[in-house]
Amino acid sequence: PKEQGWLAGGLFLYNGCWYPSKILRNIITFQRHFQAQDLDIILVSRPKSGTTWLKALIFSIVNRSRYTNYSTSPLLTTNPHELVPFIEFTLYDKKELPDLSSIESPRLFSTHIPYASLPVSIKGCNNTRIVYICRNPFDVVVSSWHFAARGRNSLERSMEDFVGSFCKGIEGFGSFWDHVLGYWKESLENPSKVLFLKYEDLKEDTDSHLKRLADFIGFPFSMEEEKEGVIEEISKQCSLSSLKDLEVNKTGKFMPNFDNKSYFRKGEVGDWVNHLTPSMVERLEKIIGEKFEGSGLSFQAST
């Protein structure tokens, strides 16, 4: 296979979803052994949908009283993926099971796995909160292409090829639509358990979505904090420009083959116009229209 890093070995179809073969064992261990606890906060996303940003925001909301002085914030010295670990990439990658029970509550974890494949313990624990971030598929394709290019330091797959796999739904963590629709439906049926956020909404009005997020995870901002500008401060500290400029995020890796810096690129809504041809857009619009019809969710290239 041409791919390296976590995609070396290609994809494997398991329980109706394509996973990177290299981490399939971790995923099965996660499904079998993860014990959710009350107050756990699980961040879920499809890759390249704003995971890193959401990690920084949630970490900052939860820990704001501990690091009132920003100069002591771990965000300054630690990549967000180390502050909120990926369950399937970093927690279950050893032979021995990790002891997660001793982690201080609320435990913050993240995963890319689809709703249908989440461990029963997460689905069944009433007080575990799930925050899902979704991004428009046009930008997801483009961001994924850049990420693969940077991670391997060379471009071996064309954009055409990326769009083709995306439309077929043959990608790590399964098809975009199954992933998004799984969490979307659950957020409608169980709104106190699943919060569904859109990257574009977060970009457009970060502060009001930060309030929504803080309320949902049980860390609401007080009137006093609002007056003191705590929300604006968190949104500034977690902005792409702030995080991208930090030494820790310019150097180092948190997974083999992937530099911390490859998680911070442009962070723009609509960057796809610079990369997708009209025929690629048409192909994507057709399949997205079919898959999301009647769901209450829509993604047009113009938005």
The verdict on 94 binding ligand A3P (CB under 6 A) reads: no
CA distance 77 to 296: 41
Nearer to ligand A3P, 199 or 221 (CB): 199
The verdict on 143 binding ligand A3P (CB under 6 A) reads: yes
Q: Which of residues 17-46 bind ligand A3P (CB under 6 A)?
A: 45
The verdict on 258 binding ligand A3P (CB under 6 A) reads: no
CA distance 253 to 243: 15
Catalytic residue among 81, 112, 179, 209: 112
Binding residue for ligand A3P (CB under 6 A) from 181, 210, 213, 243?
243
Nearest to 172 by CA among 84, 3, 47, 42: 47
The question of whether 112 is a catalytic residue gets the answer yes
Nearer to ligand A3P, 50 or 119 (CB): 50
CB of 28 to ligand A3P, least distance (A): 23
- Contact segment (CB under 6 A) with ligand A3P among 156-164, 188-196, 220-228, 232-240 equals 232-240
Nearer to ligand A3P, 44 or 217 (CB): 44
The verdict on 253 binding ligand A3P (CB under 6 A) reads: no
Residues near ligand A3P (CB under 6 A) are 45, 47-53, 56, 139, 143, 146, 238-240, 243, 263-267, 271
